Amino acid sequence: MYALSYQIYKYEHGLTAAEQRAADVRAGETAAALRGLGLRLGHAVRRRHDARLAREAAGGSVRYLSSVR
């Protein structure tokens, strides 16, 4: 945690080149992690949805969790 005066100074004067590069790296890593999470969640949802469609096509009943009703 930085002193408020230092935070105000940084806000008014911006980041140094090294600080900006470090911030860019962190932002890129965060974006990559969020993309990966989204892909994994999307894959899991699609698999569940595809399995449900297959059960319905086969004439089976669809069961829901009690918390979903």
Q: What is the pLDDT of residues 12-61, one digit of tens each?
A: 888 888 988 998 999 999 999 999 998 888 888 788 777 777 777 776 55
**Is the pLDDT at 4 greater than 90, yes or no?**
no
* 22 within 8 A of 14, measured Cβ to Cβ: no
In the 8-state DSSP scheme, what is residue 61?
P
Structure tokens at 19: 């600080």
Which has more confidence, 42 or 64? 42
Quote the CA–CA distance of 58 and 25 in Å, as a whole number.
50
First to last CA, the chain: 46
- Give the global pTM: 0.47
